[in-house]
Structure 1
């Protein structure tokens, strides 16, 4: 398997030299400065690829080429946005970049309520607190009938918590949820989020799934032309939030997406942290089932909390994800495909020096270094035992 590392470009506090020292050989990155919906210029792609190659690394995966909201909503003119997306895919394929990870989450990419949750050992991690999410949804956003979308116990706790929150607390929570996390595709203030949320009125999961099918039908041929493989990323968290539908959350969702366009270019990014939030997802069984469609892996673990809706990032070898079983299934998928599959240690705890430097939330150096070392150890051991 190919060890990769997510890098946010020249402004990332973690350098390409740092990544090479970590032992990774592949880079996962994107042209994050390109506006959503525009075609990535070939000269910019070449310059980024050459920069990575000069550091002795290879650009293995683009994460991601953002899918414009007009496409997700099926708004008038979505076809032009999809054609621009397809041209970017052709441009990337022309430079030998083999895989593009993308997502189809409406408005919000991965969502958390706390970017530095303190654990018992002093480490800090990302957390989704269902009570805070309900506070935002019901009491700050003020979405109509929002209470019906949360567990009654969560609603009751949210009512109590919001009464004790200062205005600064409310503003901080709002920023965390909608102002854009690392790699996110959109960023909002409260009023613009309300306005964009209203555009999804009447769009349920069935309609969103139909829009995804139309998008894939239009863009997968462009990927297939160049031999590039697409990998849809699961929803994070893998259930509806703030009234927005989700269609990449379960095994049935993945099966439906693969059936939309029968092509080796229509594949999956398997994120164990995202899918692992749902207790009804058997991750190892899903990997075995969809192994031939696997193009990229995000390996991380999450821990579901006692309230039935909250979760936080766990160490890579703990939490609710059986990482040994996952690695066994991934190696089997790799062998069946007859090609090396890229993976990256996803997220990671802020440890020691990570907490004292400019560390990108979810993407600290030491925390991911620890995760990569642990994953490398599992994979090494499994290969020796096979």
Structure 2
């Protein structure tokens, strides 16, 4: 398993030198400044590769851009409106440019409107650190009383609506603004640019798109891009919905094992694969992560290893980002399943036997609390997570483990 680390580019407050000290082997990055739907040019790709390959003092870092996360799919493609055909053509061109640069693994998602959703970006934990959290009552308060989405009240159980109403009644104006900003932060690149009216506009454009139609649009996208990736020897890996249940009346089509299997079967090419994110999928109690790795492992091209603690019964409740070995997902069992898959690949001679993984998210601890890096991506919290995961991986891979 190849140990990688997500990097948001030169403006990331966690830099290349930090990654080297963390002991990572490769970098996960993207061209976040390129508008969604536009072509990733060879020049921009090469620039990011040079940035990754260079330490602060100008010396070589020895690191390379291993995984793209993400080459985004435009809302036009998801809705099949506007310039969606041009965007698919540009996507294929970007794949060819990335392959020419030696990059073969491409993570993306097909979530409508929101890339991820949290109500707290710095939730205080008992040990004094902070983490990201999704509170269903606060989210209901946002949806019903701040966004005022039509039909929002009916989207939640009566008990959740009652608590949300009580919370909103005592919520300060500052908290209302903070809550709306936290939710909107999950709009790609939109933390400082999207208003609530913008969100309402985006939601309105999905009014006639249900799960079946969104899935049909996804299949149409894959039928275009997966054969190109297959011919190029590349690996596409779709990230699951985050969280893996319905929000804001939007359809969800990548939240369960059944969802993944349906898409793998619909476009049955090895290049059409999975980003198995244990944090996103683990927010649902009915997702068996080690079992999914065993059953779908031949199409798992990338692993996000993080953990969540579910705070409620049911499939769509509150949760927070846990320590990597401390949440509801059995991380040791999941890593053991990944190692079994790697062994199968080596035995069949696959060139992609080593599955890249990264310590996804992390709690802000120690100096992270002052650095204020990208939410979910602290330096020390991820270093701690990587160390824990590396320890499990080392122990399970040791010859003595077979005794």
Give the alignment of 1:92-131 within 5 angstroms: 92-131=98-137
Partner residue, 1:361: 375
1:178 maps onto 2:184 in alignment: yes
1:312 maps onto 2:320 in alignment: yes
Deviation at 1:361, TM superposition (A): 1.1
Assess if the C-alpha contact under 8 Å between 2:104 and 2:233 holds in 1.
yes
Partner residue, 2:241: 235
**Cα distance between partner residues in 2 of 1:212 and 1:299:** 25
Partner residue, 1:141: 147
Give the alignment of 1:225-304 within 5 angstroms: 225-304=231-310
**Cα distance between partner residues in 2 of 1:227 and 1:186:** 38
Q: 1:82 aligns with which of 74, 88, 105?
A: 88
1:334 maps onto 2:342 in alignment: yes
Q: 1:60 aligns with which of 40, 62, 66?
A: 66
**Cα distance between partner residues in 2 of 1:92 and 1:187:** 29
Going from structure 1 to structure 2, the CA distance change for 1:180 and 1:192 (only over 3 Å counts) comes to same
- Give a deviation string over 1:185-205, Cα, whole Å, max 9, x none: 996210111011100001111
Assess if the C-alpha contact under 8 Å between 2:13 and 2:371 holds in 1.
no
**Cα distance between partner residues in 1 of 2:140 and 2:372:** 30
**Cα distance between partner residues in 2 of 1:92 and 1:356:** 36
The TM-score with structure 2 as length reference comes to: 0.93
Unaligned runs of 5+ in 2: 54-59, 347-352
- Give a deviation string over 1:312-355, Cα, whole Å, max 9, x none: 00110111010000000111112222311100001000001100
1:352 maps onto 2:388 in alignment: no
The TM-score with structure 1 as length reference comes to: 0.97
1:162 maps onto 2:168 in alignment: yes
**Cα distance between partner residues in 1 of 2:178 and 2:210:** 30
Between 333-342 and 368-377, the greater mean CA deviation after superposition:
333-342
Going from structure 1 to structure 2, the CA distance change for 1:341 and 1:187 (only over 3 Å counts) comes to farther
Deviation at 1:50, TM superposition (A): 2.6
Partner residue, 2:11: 11
**Cα distance between partner residues in 2 of 1:256 and 1:138:** 33
Partner residue, 1:39: 39
Deviation at 1:33, TM superposition (A): 0.5
Q: Give secondary structure in 2 for the equivalent of 1:350.
A: coil
